[in-house]
Chains A and B, each alone.
Chain A
């Protein structure tokens, strides 16, 4: 079955540092890949997505590139802010209107 392996946390960085959160996946066919963010006490929000190989998803300064050769979808941001502190989930969908399979989540804390 499908699975997502995500970088273990927690991750603590200083403001303006570079962020990478690793995500690799196992899936048959051509999955769509997602990053969701969960702020304290809230539900999950879609941060970005990519639906085919070499696609780059981007939003709010975050980026991730769908790498089929390495089955990866690493999340990056060039300069993090305190407001980026949250839990980040990598996820995949095996097809159209299908369930999401999530990674374990990475808690990110940004220190001023």
Chain B
């Protein structure tokens, strides 16, 4: 158990719909990352938040948005869903260690768009 929690575990929805994925980082971790894992694109970085502020953006579609709340949990909002958005969405939080920082991943949310 990494200490990072994600809900829901599975999500099945239809094209055109909007969903919200939730992530709770490890206690004390200020940084949250979102990644998408799909068969054709592999593991892709979407967006990062640090202590409530957006810090970096990757290949995130305009239909997708995210935020980090004062209690440090984060939500990823996916709207106008398309079949190609079906993927596993991971959240990670990072901790600073003596040798640098490490990212710990949650179990993921599997999104299926029908």
Contacts and interface: CB of A to CB of B under 8 A. Distances in A.
Nearest to B106: A43
A51 B55 CA distance: 22
Interface string A80-112: 000000000100010011111111110000000
A43 B42 contact: no
Interface in A15-64: 32, 36, 42-46, 49, 51
- Interface size, B (range): 20 to 34
A98 B56 CA distance: 8
Given A98-B56, A99-B48, A32 B100 contact: yes
Contacts of A49: 99-100, 102
B45 A97 contact: no
Interface string B82-99: 000000001010101001
Contacts of B102: 46, 49
Contact of A44 (B45, B58, B99, B105): B105
B31 interface: yes
In the complex, the 10 A-B pairs of residues with the closest C-beta atoms, listed nearest first: A102-B43, A99-B45, A44-B105, A43-B105, A43-B107, A51-B100, A51-B99, A104-B42, A43-B108, A32-B100
